[in-house]
A = this chain, B = another copy of it.
Amino acid sequence: MISTPNLDKLFSPRSIAIVGASATLGKIGAMPVTLLQSNGYTGSIYPVNPRATEIQGLPCYSSLSKIEADIDLAIIAVPASHACEALEQARPGQIASAVIFSSGFSETGDEGHQQQLRLQTLAKERQIQLLGPNCLGYMNLRENTYATFSPAPLGGIVAPGSIGMVTQSGAFGAYAYCMARERGLGLSFWISTGNESDVDVADCISWLVQDPHTQVIMAYMEGCKNGDKLKDALSAARKASKPVVITKIGRTQSGAVAAASHTAALAGDDAVYDTLFKQYGAIRAHTIDEFFNIGHALSVWNKAPAISSLGIMSISGGVGALMADEADENELLLPQMPDAMQERLLKRIPFASPRNPVDVTGQAITDPGVFIDTALDMLEAGSYGALTVFLAAAGSSEALWPHIQNFARTLQDRYPDTPLALCALLPPERRHELEKLGCLTFSDPSIAIRTIAAILKRNRSQPPAVIANAAKTIIWPEGNGTLNETDSLRILKQAGVPVVPFDIVSSKSAASAAAAQINVPVVMKIISPNILHKSDMGGVKLNIQGADSVGRAYDEIMASAAEHAPNAQIDGILIAPMVPNGVECIMGMHRDPVFGPVIMFGLGGVFVEILKDVSFRLAPFSKQEALEMIHETRAVDLLKGARGRHPADIDAIAEGLAALSQLAHLTDGLIDSIDVNPFIALPAGQGAMALDALVIRKSSS
């Protein structure tokens, strides 16, 4: 666990100096002075500009050092070339934190990067916390702290609220600010991190987790340099039950290329981010609308239960079916109402469809009581995580508005924790009125359902299982680099990954003796660090049975090795039983440069090779997580015994994966990669085992 920096002085300053403050309204250096003053910031404001004595009615200082007081936050609004200098002019210890608006740093190439390093060094020496450079700054909305030069607040202020927003991109951030205003969302903080020379998105998430006014965190990321910090921040958010919705760019090939040309440091594989968010309970949003829909919904439906099923009520059977389509695609279940309640509805509306979707038909418009009673019946049944109601054009009816209001009030009074979504076209003031009752409105019922699904189905389980200590005592062979097959298998075995029982023999008689022990047909394989394509040179023999045959095979393999690789170091011949009729799986570990060891699982052959049908998890993880990982592959039906096949021992695969993940975690930094191929899943109840493995240790550097 990395300790979270205390960012109080940066994000809740009682004194702010603006270096490069300007009297010309609209200029970058004028904007924070304007915004702080006009919005009622109650701390001290010190404009700094050597060419002015007064700015926007405040006395102006020629440099930071001329200010007698210590300063919680210095805003740097001068060109990059003068930014360091401005801070240097302050007294050591005078400045606790700084927001650097200036661009012209790392984002512009080598020279700028040098400038940024200089800035970082200075800040470190003087223990100044930095936000930026090349950022739009931030706003603390409850304390009216506008440490930003974005003109967005000039178009109207966002109300203080429970959503903390942090974005790496200033342009995205400004747009998001405007969208929040348009949608009527309330923000606690709005932070843009820019080049992240010091404080990054993860730090801000951790800060927002600690902020009592923030209940939901919305984050926009372009990349991450410190994976552990991000993991900790997301863990803390989950622990505090503050959900996080994240948009991260670069989820496709084209997007990744564009992101790489945009961000200095491209960080890791996008699939790894995907699994990170999944494992740590963050919800990933792929579009700006989704980002806002989910963020907004989380702030209203903050106590939504973890029940992945939906109740649908509609005055149109057709649209009810359209909603069922969307629920199905989002893997929400649609359990039916209990029979008695179905009968009650049919008594009142004979041509209703009382299952789920419940179609109350257009007739219900003439009897709004049916709406309430049916909805209450549905919620009383208790099997729905949320309720979605399609009102069609009746939702915009003036005459029906009091009924709609009453409907929302009654339901939310009785079931305050159950998300209620009304699908109707309503003017903003009515939407807000319903929202105050805890009910969100959507014009598109499919979007309502997608949003609900994201919220109900988010991973709220606790962090990965604590790791057993057993694997810590792994005995390593000498040397470094690539381990041979038997050493690799031994490492796995020590870590609790099941491996095929095997012997290494160095003589014909030992071979025969070993085979006799095994007593079923065996495979024999030459073990040598110098022979890569063993089959091609006669180094592998399959399905050998009986002492004579085994002895003969031993001689043949050795002869073949002597002929084809006379100088090879021969470590012996591996003898192992032939493993019958299992399903070939592959598991592996590689190190992500940002997030550390990543475990991969897939089925052998075309599944991995052609279909790239694999799933990932960050190590370490539990058996439960491993089971989900297996079920994420399309090929899982093969393991489950599709089309009359034997079901495979999925449990044993999951245990193997979890053990591999613990090995990867505990040896992090020692191993570059592990390949277990094939990992054979035997029929259910009979286990699974690695037949071959390759462990590559970190090359000593």
- The residue that A321 contacts in the complex, of B259, B317, B635, with Cβ under 8 A, is B259
Structural contact, A171 and B318, CB atoms closer than 8 A: yes
Smallest CB separation, A488 vs chain B (Å): 24
The yes or no answer to A8 lying at the interface (CB within 8 A) is: no
The yes or no answer to A107 lying at the interface (CB within 8 A) is: yes
- The residue that A328 contacts in the complex, of B103, B152, B254, with Cβ under 8 A, is B254
Taken residue by residue from 406 to 445, chain A's Cβ proximity to chain B (1 for < 8 Å, 0 otherwise) reads as 0000000000000000000100000000000000000111
Centre residue among A150, A169, A175, A286 by max chain B CB count within 10 A: A175
A214–B255 Cα distance when bound, in Å, is 38
Smallest CB separation, A221 vs chain B (Å): 9
Structural contact, A609 and B288, CB atoms closer than 8 A: no
The yes or no answer to A222 lying at the interface (CB within 8 A) is: yes
Chain B residues with Cβ below 8 Å from A178 are 393, 396, 425
The yes or no answer to A324 lying at the interface (CB within 8 A) is: yes
**Nearest-neighbor residue (CB-CB) of A449 within chain B:** B287
Structural contact, A362 and B170, CB atoms closer than 8 A: yes
The yes or no answer to A555 lying at the interface (CB within 8 A) is: no
The yes or no answer to A673 lying at the interface (CB within 8 A) is: no
The yes or no answer to A385 lying at the interface (CB within 8 A) is: no
Structural contact, B182 and A259, CB atoms closer than 8 A: no
Given A397-B151, A606-B638, A609-B643: A261 touches B317 (CB 8 Å cut-off) = yes
Structural contact, A325 and B255, CB atoms closer than 8 A: yes
- The residue that A249 contacts in the complex, of B259, B262, B322, B638, with Cβ under 8 A, is B322
Chain B residues with Cβ below 8 Å from A397 are 151, 155
On chain A, the number of residues with a Cβ less than 8 Å from chain B's Cβ atoms is 83
**Nearest-neighbor residue (CB-CB) of A261 within chain B:** B353
A182–B254 Cα distance when bound, in Å, is 35
The yes or no answer to A374 lying at the interface (CB within 8 A) is: no
A44–B162 Cα distance when bound, in Å, is 60
Structural contact, B252 and A325, CB atoms closer than 8 A: yes
Centre residue among A256, A314, A319, A320 by max chain B CB count within 10 A: A319
| CB-contacts of A295-327 with B (<8 A) | 314-322, 324-327
Given A250-B321, A261-B353, A287-B326: A172 touches B255 (CB 8 Å cut-off) = no
**Nearest-neighbor residue (CB-CB) of A255 within chain B:** B325
The yes or no answer to A380 lying at the interface (CB within 8 A) is: no
The yes or no answer to A236 lying at the interface (CB within 8 A) is: no
- The residue that A611 contacts in the complex, of B155, B357, B392, B634, with Cβ under 8 A, is B634
| CB-contacts of A225-277 with B (<8 A) | 247, 249-259, 261-263
Structural contact, A171 and B322, CB atoms closer than 8 A: no
The yes or no answer to A679 lying at the interface (CB within 8 A) is: no
A396–B351 Cα distance when bound, in Å, is 49
A611–B603 Cα distance when bound, in Å, is 13
**Nearest-neighbor residue (CB-CB) of A635 within chain B:** B610
**Nearest-neighbor residue (CB-CB) of A107 within chain B:** B351
- The residue that A393 contacts in the complex, of B175, B254, B322, B393, with Cβ under 8 A, is B175
15 chain-A/chain-B pairs, Cβ below 8 angstroms: A108-B350, A171-B316, A172-B318, A175-B425, A222-B318, A258-B320, A258-B357, A261-B353, A286-B446, A287-B326, A606-B635, A606-B638, A610-B637, A610-B643, A611-B634
Supplied contacts A255-B324, A261-B317, 18 more A-B pairs, CB within 8 Å? A150-B393, A171-B318, A172-B316, A172-B392, A175-B392, A175-B425, A249-B322, A254-B327, A255-B328, A258-B317, A258-B353, A261-B355, A262-B317, A262-B318, A286-B325, A288-B322, A609-B642, A610-B637
